[in-house]
Amino acid sequence: MKTKDLILQLLDGHRIMAIATNRADGWPQVTLVGYVNDGFLLYCFIARNSQKCANILLDSRVSIAIGSDTALPREIKGLSLAGRASIVTDHSELAYISRLRLKRYPEYAAALASGADESSAARISPRPSPSLVALMRIEPEIFSLSDYSKGFGHSELITFSERDLDLHVASLRHRWDDTAL
């Protein structure tokens, strides 16, 4: 399997990531968030009044780790990446990612139907209120892929140039305007 295909398989196969941001006082801050991906681009909704949002607005650089536990060390596969986060302002991209999120997290619709409290409902609604919640797009610059099936501790670095990302984002724009998933 090609390295970039394995990265996509790992991104598609998980729903939770650890995201590290830089605080104003210099300390790193790591939190767990749910995410969706559209190819190599990652998205997460975060509260606008959160420390994480304040950190990203101050410094767009983020680090992310995605993986899971396994009983056999040779089955360990995971990702870490460095990238830049930005708030999505394009309405068609926001609508597309909101629909993508409901496909990946169908239980959110059930939670809303069962009467989630107001704070939870604001965060898990099909299209969260932009005044309360921001959609962050994370554009990776470098991936580190861990694949212990190739040897204990094996990892590979994959870099994305600015041009790679520009082409990737441009190739997805037509999907954001389409209402079907």
Residue 16 tokens read as 């939770």
Q: CB neighbours of 160 closer than 8 A, spacing ≥ 6? A: 40, 139, 140, 141, 142, 143, 168
pLDDT score of 113? 58
Q: Cα separation of 134 and 73, whole Å?
A: 37
Q: CB neighbours of 94 closer than 8 A, spacing ≥ 6? A: 88, 127, 130, 135
DSSP string covering 113-146, please? HTT--HHHHHHHSSS--TTTEEEEEEEEEEEEEE
Q: Cα separation of 74 and 152, whole Å?
A: 7
CATH of residue 15 = 2.30.110.10
pLDDT score of 25? 96
* pLDDT under 50: residue ranges of the chain: 166, 170
Write out pLDDT tens, residues 74-105: 877 889 999 999 999 998 999 899 889 888 88
pLDDT score of 175? 58
Instruction: Please give the residue range of the domain that contains residue 75.
Output: 3-177
pLDDT score of 85? 98
Distance of CA 133 to the CA centre of its chain: 15
**Tally of structural domains, the chain:** 1
Name the DSSP class of 72: S
Q: Which one, of 9, 158, 31, 149, lies nearest residue 83 by Cα?
A: 158
pLDDT score of 144? 87
